[in-house]
Structure 1
C-alpha cells in the first residue's frame, strides 16, 4: 500500500536558487480566486445542487482524459459506465467502475491526469493512500462518506474552491433554464453561459437539418433562408447576453475564416437543407460562419474563442454508439496565418472585437500565433488546452511565446474541464508553472522580483478578467 503524499514543491524548478524564488512567487498567487472562463461543467449540477452520486460518476465517468487512457489499454467504455445512446448494457455499479479505475492507476504515471487526480483525492477528499486494487474499496467508501455531507454539495464546493466565476458551454438551442435558476436562487455564485454554435455551422453533420428546425422554433425566426438563419443566430446570441454570457466558443478542424459571397453561402445553405451538400462546400460554409461569428462578436461584444486543429470523433463507431466527445479527438495541423487572415484583416483592430485563439499544435506557437497576437490588438493567445494542458507543455508555451507576444497578449488559464472537482487542481498546476517560469527570469537577471510578483497576479486573475470582458 503506497501512501498518497503531495510534494508542496511539485512542478516548481529543481534548481535550489530558482525554486526559492518560485516558492515566493507561487505563495503570492496560491490563494487567489479562480477565474474559470472556459469549461464544460453542466450548469444543472449547480442549479439543482444535489449531492454527487458516487466517486465513479464524479471523477471517472465524465472525464474523457481518464477514460481514454484506460481504453488505450483495452478497457471498454461500457465497462467504465459511459452510457450508450441506444440504451444498451453498460456497467451500472459505480464500485465496479471505481475498481477498474484504481486497477489502472499506474497508467497515469507522468500524466497531468495523475497530478489532478492526486490533488483532488488528497486535498478535497482527504485520501492518504494511493489508488490500487487493494485500496479501491476503502477509497470509494471514504469519498462516498464525504459526498453525503453538506460541505461536499456542488455549491459548497464551488465556494470552497474559491471560484469567482465559472463559464459553462451551451448549445444555442438551450433555454438556459439552469442559469435562470441559479440567478434566481439565494446563492451568490456566478455561473455564466457560453454560446457554442458548432452543431449549427457544420452543415454536413448528421442531424443538422433537425437542429436548424429547432433553431427556428426557439428563436421564433424563419430559418428557411440563409439570411434568416443568421438572424436566428443573432437572436440566440442576444438571449445568451441577457443571461450573462461573456463569450462564444468555436471548435473547427480548420482555422479558415474566408467569407463567401452571400449568394454562394445561400446556395450552400439551401443545398444543405435539401440534404445535398458536399464536403467541399461544407468546409467553405464553416469558414464563412467563423467570419460571420466574428462580425457578430464585433457587434454584440461577446469574446470569440477559437480552438481549431482537432479531428473530432476519430472513431466514428464509438461516436455513433456513445455520442459526442466520446469518439476520441485527435490533433491535426492548422495554418493559422492564412486561415485567420480574413477575420483579422476585417476585425483585428475593431474596438468591439476580441478573439482568443487556442491550439494543440505546438509548432505554431512561435511561428504563427505569438506573432499574430503580437500585432493584432483584438487577438489574445489561449493557453495550452486538451493534450497540452500539462506542466511541460505549459512551460514550452511560455518559452515559445513570451519573447514575441509578451505576457499581456495572453488570456490567462482556462481549465476546459467537465470534471468539476478537478478545477482547483488544474488552476493550481498553471500557477506553479508560471511561478517557475517567472522565477527563472528573476534568477537569470531578466526581470526584477517585484515585477515577477505583479505579473504572476496578472496571469492568474487580471488577464482573464480583462480578456473575457464583453467588449460592447
Structure 2
C-alpha cells in the first residue's frame, strides 16, 4: 500500500454554502454513529449462518453488483471478462478473479460522479483499509491487500455485521424458501438480528418464470390443494405464519405496475385454474396480480406484517443478456407508473386502516409530488418508501425530499433502507443517506422553516426512528 494517505473528504455531500454546511455538520455528528437499521435488502442469510470467509475481492465487490457491471457493459466490456457466470456451462467465462479485478480497475474512471463510486470508495477506504484510489497500476496490490484482509477473522460476516454497528438486517426470500439459514442463525446463540422478508411474487404472479414449480412446492409444504381458490389462500397464510415465526416483520411485492382490483371468488377461481394450466392471457395475469395485492393487504391486516410494494420497473429489458446470464444483470429499466387510479381499489378496501402499513416504492420520480405524496398524506395505511434503486443517490434522495415533504411531511415516510446485495456497501449507503438528510434539514433551518431543535429530532427519526416504527422493529 502507498505511503501517501488517501481518504474521503469529511464534508462530502454537504452544501457549498457555509451556513448550511455548518448546520449539516452539527446534525451529522449527532447521528453518524447511530446503529444501522436495514429493514429491506437482499444479502445472503447463509453468510451469517455459516460465518465463513468471503471468497475474493472480485466475488465480493464486483460480481454481485449489478450497479458496477451495468456501467462496464454499457462501455462494451463483456460480462464474461468480469467472471459473471453464464447459464450455458460451455460459455467461456474468465475464471481468474485477479484478471476480472484488473478489468474493473482499468475502467474505474467510468464511475466518476456516480453513487457506485462513492459506495466503492467508502468500502475500500473505510472498511478494507485501502489508502489509494483504485487504478490500472495499483489494481494487483489492492487486490492482494483486500484478499489478505478477507482471510482474517475480523472480516468474517458476523464480525463485519458487528463492526458496521447493524441493529437489524432484513433479507428477502421467496414464499417457498425453507428459511434454513435463518433458522440456523436463530438457533446459533449469536446476538446479531438477521430477519427474513416474505416475497410471494413467484406464487402470486402467473407470468413469473418459477410460477409452476413454486406452486407445486407451495402445495407440498402446506398440504393444501392449491387448485382450489380458498385452499390456495390458506396455503399463503400458512407460509406467512411460518415466515413470521422466524422473525419476519414485512412482506415485499414487486410488479411492473401498482394495478389493483377486487374480483369475486368465482372469477378468481377461474383465473387460478387458467394460471395453473398455463393458458392464462396477459390481461388475465394482470387481473390476477391486481387482486392478489388486495388479498395480501387483507392478510397483512390479520397477521400484522408490513406490506411493501415496489413497482415501476421493466425487468430484464435486454433479452439477449437475460437468455445468456439470467436476471439481475443490470438491464432493468424504470417505467412510467400511475398510482391514483391503480391503487384506488386496494385503498378503498384497506387504506383507512391505521393499524395496517403499506409502504410504496417507485422508479417513476414524476409521481412523487403529483400522486404519492398526496396519497400518503391522506390514507392512514400508506407510507412512502425512500428513493429507490436508480434514485438511491445524492441527487435522487434530495429530489425525493424536496418533492414529497411539503405534502406528506416527514412522518409519512419511513427513513432509509439500502435494498442491497452488496454487504460491504451497507455502511456506505447509510452514510450517504444520513449526509443528504442532514443537508436537507440544514437548508430548512437556514431558511427558518424549522428550528435547529426540530432538525436534530428529525435527524434521529430519519436515521432510525421512522424505519423502526414503520417496520415494527
The match for 1:14 is 16
Partner deviation per Cα, 1:2-57 (whole Å, 9 max, x = no partner): 97431110001110111001000011010001000010001011111000111001
Secondary structure in 1 matching 2:218: helix
Partner deviation per Cα, 1:369-396 (whole Å, 9 max, x = no partner): 1111101111111010110000011011
Q: Does the 8 Å contact 1:4/1:118 carry over to 2?
A: no
The match for 2:192 is 189
Q: Describe how 1:448-459 pairs up with structure 2 within 5 A.
A: 448-459=451-462
Size of the alignment, in residue pairs? 470
The match for 2:69 is 67
Q: Does the 8 Å contact 2:201/2:208 carry over to 1?
A: no
The match for 1:142 is 145
Q: Does the 8 Å contact 2:66/2:330 carry over to 1?
A: no
Secondary structure in 1 matching 2:390: coil
Whether 1:416 and 2:419 are equivalent positions in the alignment is yes
Secondary structure in 2 matching 1:239: helix
Q: Does the 8 Å contact 1:85/1:323 carry over to 2?
A: yes
Instruction: For 1:433 and 1:360, locate their aligned partners in 2 and report how far apart those are by CA, in whole Å.
Output: 19
The match for 1:236 is 239
Q: Does the 8 Å contact 1:11/1:433 carry over to 2?
A: yes
Partner deviation per Cα, 1:118-151 (whole Å, 9 max, x = no partner): 1000000111111111110011011011111101
Instruction: For 1:107 and 1:449, locate their aligned partners in 2 and report how far apart those are by CA, in whole Å.
Output: 39
Secondary structure in 1 matching 2:359: strand
Partner deviation per Cα, 1:161-201 (whole Å, 9 max, x = no partner): 01000000001111101001111112100000000111112
Instruction: For 1:226 and 1:271, locate their aligned partners in 2 and report how far apart those are by CA, in whole Å.
Output: 12
Instruction: For 1:109 and 1:65, locate their aligned partners in 2 and report how far apart those are by CA, in whole Å.
Output: 13
Q: 2:25 aligns with which of 13, 23, 27?
A: 23
Instruction: For 1:221 and 1:419, locate their aligned partners in 2 and report how far apart those are by CA, in whole Å.
Output: 37
Q: Does the 8 Å contact 1:297/1:352 carry over to 2?
A: no
Structure 1 gaps, min length 5: none
Secondary structure in 2 matching 1:251: strand
Instruction: For 1:227 and 1:8, locate their aligned partners in 2 and report how far apart those are by CA, in whole Å.
Output: 58
Instruction: For 1:446 and 1:410, locate their aligned partners in 2 and report how far apart those are by CA, in whole Å.
Output: 19
Q: Does the 8 Å contact 2:317/2:332 carry over to 1?
A: yes
Q: Does the 8 Å contact 1:317/1:327 carry over to 2?
A: no
Superposition deviation, residue 321 in structure 1: 2.5
Q: Does the 8 Å contact 1:370/1:404 carry over to 2?
A: yes
Superposition deviation, residue 154 in structure 1: 0.4
Whether 1:380 and 2:383 are equivalent positions in the alignment is yes
Partner deviation per Cα, 1:60-79 (whole Å, 9 max, x = no partner): 00011011111111112222
Instruction: For 2:345 and 2:263, locate their aligned partners in 1 and report how far apart those are by CA, in whole Å.
Output: 11
Superposition deviation, residue 318 in structure 1: 2.0
Secondary structure in 2 matching 1:166: strand
TM-score (norm 1): 0.97
Superposition deviation, residue 218 in structure 1: 1.7
Superposition deviation, residue 467 in structure 1: 0.3
The match for 2:300 is 297
Greater displacement, 246-255 / 347-356? 347-356
Secondary structure in 2 matching 1:409: coil
Secondary structure in 1 matching 2:173: coil
TM-score (norm 2): 0.97
Instruction: For 2:52 and 2:394, locate their aligned partners in 1 and report how far apart those are by CA, in whole Å.
Output: 34
Instruction: For 1:456 and 1:437, locate their aligned partners in 2 and report how far apart those are by CA, in whole Å.
Output: 10
The match for 1:274 is 277
Instruction: For 2:217 and 2:342, locate their aligned partners in 1 and report how far apart those are by CA, in whole Å.
Output: 31
Whether 1:461 and 2:464 are equivalent positions in the alignment is yes
Q: Describe how 1:310-329 pairs up with structure 2 within 5 A.
A: 310-326=313-329, 328-329=331-332
1:117–1:327 CA distance, 2 compared to 1 (3 A): closer
Superposition deviation, residue 209 in structure 1: 1.5
Whether 1:153 and 2:156 are equivalent positions in the alignment is yes
Q: Does the 8 Å contact 1:316/1:327 carry over to 2?
A: no
Q: Describe how 1:66-465 pairs up with structure 2 within 5 A.
A: 66-88=68-90, 89-326=92-329, 328-465=331-468
Superposition deviation, residue 327 in structure 1: 6.1
The match for 1:41 is 43
Structure 1 segments (4+ residues) deviating >3 Å: 1-4
Q: Does the 8 Å contact 2:202/2:209 carry over to 1?
A: no
Secondary structure in 2 matching 1:339: coil
Q: Does the 8 Å contact 2:69/2:330 carry over to 1?
A: no
Greater displacement, 25-34 / 223-232? 223-232
Q: Does the 8 Å contact 2:386/2:397 carry over to 1?
A: yes
1:107–1:444 CA distance, 2 compared to 1 (3 A): same
Instruction: For 1:303 and 1:205, locate their aligned partners in 2 and report how far apart those are by CA, in whole Å.
Output: 23
Secondary structure in 2 matching 1:456: helix
